Amino acid sequence: MPSPEKNAIVVLLRKSRRHLGPEDVVAVLGAISQVGEGPFSLRELRKYLPERMVSKRNVMRSVGALLQTLVSLGYLERFSERRYRKRYESFSHYMMSQVMELANLEASTVQAQRREEKVLKVLGSKKQGRPD
């Protein structure tokens, strides 16, 4: 089984959340994926989380902050002040589309740089070939 401590996405989601460990971030993502299609609140999410997390107030506050981060990333949307709704079936499905989009952005940037280099080389060789 892969280690959550070594997963870059888990590490980024955990950043600046001192009350959540890597296993906790994975537990929250798993709980969100188990919630039904409709809107849910943090209170409703509790029944899918391990008891060790639910019993600690600071951990649950960090879970709320993590939900807000997932809203800012676009995986969740705010349905109302205290309710969230999934926009995708799971976080991994959402990330797959984002990774594909990132790959396209990287490829287009590299292609644009190559075109500029070719234009500069062609213009540079014409200037060098003319006697002034």
The DSSP line for 70-116 is HHHHTSEEESSSSEEEESSS-HHHHHHHHHHHHHHHHHHHHHHHHHH
Give the pLDDT score at 49: 95
One domain, residues 71 and 94: no
Q: Which residue has the tokens 């280690």?
A: 3
The verdict on 82 and 121 lying in the same domain is: no
pLDDT tens readout for residues 31-62: 999 998 889 999 999 999 999 999 999 999 99
How do residues 9-29 score in pLDDT, each as one tens digit? 898 898 888 899 999 999 999
Same structural domain for residues 82 and 94? no
- Count of structural domains, the chain: 2
Residue 23 and residue 74 in one domain: yes
pTM: 0.75
Q: Are residues 128 and 70 in the same domain?
A: no
Q: What is the rounded CA–CA span in Å between residue 59 and residue 65?
A: 10
Indicate whether 76 and 96 sit together in one domain. no
Q: Specify whether 54 is located in the same domain as 104.
A: no
- Statement to judge: residues 78 and 125 lie in one domain: no
Distance between alpha carbon 85 and the CA centroid of its chain, in Å? 16
Tokens of 122: 């062609």
What are the pLDDT digits (tens) for 54-112?
A: 999 999 999 999 999 999 999 999 988 899 999 988 888 888 888 888 888 888 876 66
Which residues constitute the domain of residue 50?
A: 4-87
Closest C-alpha to 89, from 102, 103, 76, 70? 76
